[in-house]
C-alpha cells in the first residue's frame, strides 16, 4: 500500500515537473540528432544505434543523476519527507517507492530514445532498423538505467542536503564513467592498478585487469550490448574495436555484465537504505 502510493505520488510529481520533462526531452533530442545526422553517412541504422550506445553509456548517467540525485535528499531538505513519513509509511516503503518511480522515468527516457532511433532508422536508412536488435538494445539499456537509478537514489538516501547529494552524484559519475572507462589521462582505473602493483610488489594479469575494468556499470553496459551488433556492425572498424574479440576475462561474459549491472542497481540502494533507515529526520 505504502510503496504504491509513494511511487504514484512521486511519478505524478515528476511527470508534471518542467525540469524532468526538459531533461528527458533533451536526451531524446540528442538521440534523435545522432540518427538524423548520420542518415547520409551510414547505410545501416544499427551503426547509428552503436553511436547511441556511446551516448547512453557515457552521457546518460549525467541525465539520470539530474533526475534522481534529489530523490530522497531533496525531500529531506524541503521537508516533504514529513508529509510522507508523517503518514504510516515505513522507511523502506518510502525508499523503494522513490527508487521505482525514478527508475520508471529513467527507463522511459532511454526507451524513448530507442524508439525514436528505431523510427528514424526504419524510415530513413538504406538498411533499416532490425526490431530484434533495437529491442535487445532497449532491454539492456533499461537495465542500465535502473542500475544507474539505484546508484544515485541510493547515494541520495545517504545524504541529507542538496549540496551533499550533488557532490555524491558528481563523484559517482566521475568514478563510474570517465575514471573507469579510462576517458581521462592518468585519472584511470588502470593507473590505480599500476600503482597497486608498485606498492605491493605484485603483478596483475591482463585478464584480471580486464575483469576489474568490467566492474563499472558503464563498462558492463557496453559489453552487454555486444550481442546487439554481432553480425550486423562488424563491417565498421570502430564497432569491431569496441565489441572486440574474446579476451578470456569475465568482462566478456554477458552473465557477468548483467550481474554487475544488477549488483550496482541493488547494492548501492541497499547500503543507502541501511543508512536512511537510521537517519535523523528531525
Closest to other proteins by CB, 16 or 198: 16
Q: Which residue has the cell 532490425?
A: 130
> Distance between CA 173 and CA 58 in Å, rounded?
9
Number of residues that bind other proteins (CB under 8 A): 33
> Distance between CA 57 and CA 214 in Å, rounded?
13
- Using the 8-state DSSP alphabet, how is residue 216 labeled? S
Residue 80 interacts with other proteins (CB under 8 A): yes or no: yes
Determine the 3-state secondary structure of 16 from DSSP. coil
Which residues in 24-43 contact other proteins (CB under 8 A)?
A: none
Residue 277 interacts with other proteins (CB under 8 A): yes or no: no
Return phi, psi of residue 44, to 5°: -100, 130
Closest to other proteins by CB, 85 or 193: 85
Which residues in 8-27 contact other proteins (CB under 8 A)?
A: 8-10, 12-17
Instruction: Write the interaction track for other proteins spanning residues 84-123; mark x where CB under 8 A is met and - where it is not.
Output: -xxxxxx---------------------------------
Residue 166 interacts with other proteins (CB under 8 A): yes or no: no
Compute the least distance from the CB of residue 282 to other proteins, in Å: 3
- Using the 8-state DSSP alphabet, how is residue 251 labeled? G
> Distance between CA 148 and CA 4 in Å, rounded?
22
Stretch that binds other proteins, among 71-79, 149-157, 192-200, 218-226 (CB under 8 A): 71-79
Residue 188 interacts with other proteins (CB under 8 A): yes or no: no
Q: Which of 37, 127, 163, 205 binds other proteins (CB under 8 A)?
A: 163
Closest to other proteins by CB, 79 or 185: 79
Closest to other proteins by CB, 4 or 244: 4
Stretch that binds other proteins, among 30-38, 83-91, 120-128, 239-247 (CB under 8 A): 83-91
For the chain, the helix, strand and coil percentages under 3-state DSSP, each to the nearest 5: 75, 0, 25
Q: Which of 161, 205, 208, 235 binds other proteins (CB under 8 A)?
A: 161
Do the Cβ atoms of 97 and 7 come closer than 8 Å? Answer: yes
Residue 78 interacts with other proteins (CB under 8 A): yes or no: yes
Pick the closest to residue 142 from 243, 60, 85 (CA basis): 60
Residue 278 CB-half CA count within 13 A: 4
Closest to other proteins by CB, 10 or 130: 10
CA-based torsion, 117, 123, 127, 133: positive or negative = positive
> Distance between CA 281 and CA 277 in Å, rounded?
10
Interface ranges with other proteins (CB under 8 A): 1-2, 4-5, 8-10, 12-17, 77-80, 82-83, 85-90, 160-161, 163-164, 278, 280-282
Amino acid at each position: 500500500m505504502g510503496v504504491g502510493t509513494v511511487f504514484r505520488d512521486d511519478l505524478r510529481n515528476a511527470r508534471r515537473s518542467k525540469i524532468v520533462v526538459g531533461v528527458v526531452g533533451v536526451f531524446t533530442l540528442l538521440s534523435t540528432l545522432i540518427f538524423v545526422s548520420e542518415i547520409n553517412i551510414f547505410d545501416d541504422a544499427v551503426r547509428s544505434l552503436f553511436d547511441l550506445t556511446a551516448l547512453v553509456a557515457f552521457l546518460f548517467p549525467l541525465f539520470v543523476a539530474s533526475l534522481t540525485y534529489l530523490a530522497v535528499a531533496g525531500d529531506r531538505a524541503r521537508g516533504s519527507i514529513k508529509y510522507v513519513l508523517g503518514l504510516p509509511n515505513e522507511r523502506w516503503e518510502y525508499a523503494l517507492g522513490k527508487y521505482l518511480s525514478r527508475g520508471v522515468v529513467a527507463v522511459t527516457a532511454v526507451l524513448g530514445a530507442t524508439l525514436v532511433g528505431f523510427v528514424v532508422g526504419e524510415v530513413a536508412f538504406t538498411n533499416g532498423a532490425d526490431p530484434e536488435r533495437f529491442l535487445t538494445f532497449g532491454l539492456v539499456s533499461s537495465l542500465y538505467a535502473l542500475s544507474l537509478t539505484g546508484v544515485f537514489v541510493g547515494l541520495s538516501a545517504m545524504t541529507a542536503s542538496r549540496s551533499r547529494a550533488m557532490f555524491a552524484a558528481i563523484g559517482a559519475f566521475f568514478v563510474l564513467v570517465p575514471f573507469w572507462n579510462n576517458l581521462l589521462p592518468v585519472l584511470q582505473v588502470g593507473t590505480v592498478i599500476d600503482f597497486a602493483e608498485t606498492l605491493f610488489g605484485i603483478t596483475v594479469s591482463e585478464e584480471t585487469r580486464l575483469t576489474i575494468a568490467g566492474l563499472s556499470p558503464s563498462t558492463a553496459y557496453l559489453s552487454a550490448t555486444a550481442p546487439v551488433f554481432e553480425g550486423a556492425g562488424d563491417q565498421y572498424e570502430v564497432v569491431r574495436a569496441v565489441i572486440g574479440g574474446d579476451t578470456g576475462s569475465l568482462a566478456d561474459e554477458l552473465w557477468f555484465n548483467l550481474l554487475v549491472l544488477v549488483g550496482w542497481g541493488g547494492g548501492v540502494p541497499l547500503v543507502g537504505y541501511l543508512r536512511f533507515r537510521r537517519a535523523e529526520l528531525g
